[in-house]
Amino acid sequence: MHPGFIWTPLVENFLKEQSKKSGRSVEDLRKELDSRHPIGHIGEPNDIAYGVLYLVSEDAKFVTGSELIIDGGYTTT
């Protein structure tokens, strides 16, 4: 699985540190990060969880050696 930016405490803390260094607000930095994704926003933990649920479900019983990219289009830019 290849997750993109997911709004977790790790990303939030990273943006807080960047905010201190740059003087920009966390909200502005989040909007900038959102804009880097063609879908218009970074992901949420549930976005990854649903990918995992698919892989362990009967729907994926014939899926082997697949790469599941869940990144809101980030790698397409």
The predicted-structure confidence for 36-63, as pLDDT tens digits, reads as follows 999 999 999 999 999 999 999 999 999 9
Give the whole-number percent of the chain exceeding pLDDT 70. Answer: 99
Distance CA 33, CA 72 (A): 12
Number of structural domains found in the chain: 1
24, burial (CB in 10 Å: exposed 0-12, middle 13-18, buried 19+): middle
18 lies in which domain range?
2-76
Mean pLDDT of 16-41: 96
pTM for the whole thing?
A: 0.79
At residue 2, the pLDDT reads 81
